[in-house]
Structure 1
Amino acid sequence: MKKIIVFASGSGTNAENIIKYFEKTEIARVVSVFTNNASAKVIERAKNHLIPIEIFSKDDLTERTILHKIQKIDPDLIVLAGFLLKFPENIIEKYPNKIINIHPALLPNYGGKGMYGMHIHRAIVNNKEKETGISIHYVNEHYDEGGIIFQKNVALTDSDTPETVAEKIHELEQKYFPEIIQTILEQ
């Protein structure tokens, strides 16, 4: 059975969705959740599924501490699900094309440092975009610039607010992220 590590910084709805999805398959399991936020809701969600948690500091991430912990697990895939720190090059080099991220917009639009969550949804509404969506991509040394694996769009209306855009994006994330992870693991 293949092993997935999930990195998350916040509420963990995508992380929990991935955990639940793979609990129902024989393909893979989430074997650990890593977070840089000691008060993140993802910790409780992972504990509810008996998934080991690794809480770390930004320094731990850049000083090879986390790389060593990842190497001990030897994952088949590392999934960033609402992880807000820039992923370090030393981990990317050790796991080429084995680290993926989900972004709540259609890249290359609305990507880069500081572009996450409601910041993106507000910008999309303010720019009167007619559509938005999700992008699942490989992680490289630059924010949101790795090769795109999958995109799915959703139409917007003039009455959409940042909150309604967030709801539409969340629905796409919940449906497609686990499916794309499965596809990657089956290749």
Structure 2
Amino acid sequence: MLRIAALASNNGSSFRAIAAAIDEGRLDAAVVSLVVSNRSNASALDHARARGIATLHIPTKGVEDAADEMLRDALIAAGADLVILSGYLRKLGPKTLSAFQGRILNVHPGLLPGYGGPGMYGRRVHQAVLEAGEAVTGATIHLVDAEYDQGRIIAAEEVRIDPSDDAAALEQRVMQAECALFIQTVERIAAGALSLPL
């Protein structure tokens, strides 16, 4: 059984999609064992609690080193095989990265290596893509390392941009692609088609 821990700062859309796939039996070889947020009011925590999933709030502002150690220890205690970032808007520290090297995945709302890096998340990515006049965008699953959006790409899915798209409309379509791609990637890991560490 693949034990997943999810990190989310807000809604945690891809975590929710993975949890739903588990509940529906589409991901029957995986379980979410812990959800962690740097924000105590993150709706991802409420969603996890409603499903009986253990939750933890670890504040990070001004206490990055202590938070890094707490997160590493919590992930180890939860028996996490795989850590997924679902809109987690904090850089991970060296202790967590070292303990889970090759086992931390993030989903980015664009086709990396373009439109990534510090400050490029959520609707900001979609606005930048539209302003650049791109015809295609998408979602990327990548390994997490010490730099934003720099880890090795594991999977990507293209999303065509319609001439009528604004950032909000594009965000909704890309989010659907993100969730589906993350579920597919977790399925491949759970089935042994992708071996951890990646």
Matched ranges for 1:58-97 at <5 A: 58=60, 62-63=65-66, 64-97=69-102
Segments of 5+ residues of structure 2 without an aligned counterpart are: 193-198
* Sequence identity (%): 28
Match of 2:54 in 1: 52
Normalising to structure 2: TM-score of the pair?
Answer: 0.90
The answer to whether the 8 Å contact 2:83/2:105 transfers is yes
Give the alignment partner of residue 111 of structure 1, picking from 110, 116, 119. 116
Contact kept in structure 2, 1:136 and 1:151, CA below 8 Å: yes
Q: 1:148 aligns with which of 148, 153, 161?
A: 153
Unaligned runs of 5+ in 1: none
Which moved further from structure 2: 79-88 or 152-161?
A: 152-161
Which consecutive aligned stretches of 4+ in structure 1 deviate over 3 angstroms post-superposition? none
- Give, as a single letter, the amino acid of the residue that structure 1 aligns with 2:170: V
Residues matched between the structures, number: 187
Matched, 1:39 2:41: yes
| Map 1:160-171 → 2, pairs under 5 A | 160-171=165-176
Q: Is the contact made by 2:2 and 2:190 (CA closer than 8 Å) also made in structure 1? A: yes
Hey, what's the Cα distance between the residues in 1 that align with 2:132 and 2:119?
17
Cα distance in 2 for partners of 1:50, 1:60 equals 29
Kindly indicate whether the alpha-carbon contact (under 8 Å) linking 1:132 and 1:156 is maintained by their aligned counterparts in 2. yes
C-alpha contact 1:76 1:185 (8 A) present in aligned 2: no
**What is the CA distance between 1:157 and its match in structure 2?**
2.6
Q: Distance in 1 between matches of 2:147 and 2:42?
A: 25
Alpha-carbon RMSD: 1.3
Specify the code of the residue in structure 1 equivalent to 2:85: L
TM-score by length of 1: 0.95
Amino acid at match of 1:26: D
Partner of 2:129: 124
1: CA distance, partners of 2:104 / 2:160: 29
Distance in 2 of aligned mates of 1:173 and 1:94: 26
How far 1:74 sits from its partner (Å)? 2.2
Structure 1 position 158, deviation (Å): 2.4
| Separation in structure 2 between the aligned mates of residue 150 and residue 56 of structure 1, nearest angstrom | 29
How far apart in 2 are the matches of 1:3 and 1:181?
A: 11
TM-aligned CA deviation for residue 61 of structure 1: 5.2
Does the Cα contact within 8 Å between 1:77 and 1:185 map onto a contact in 2? Answer: no
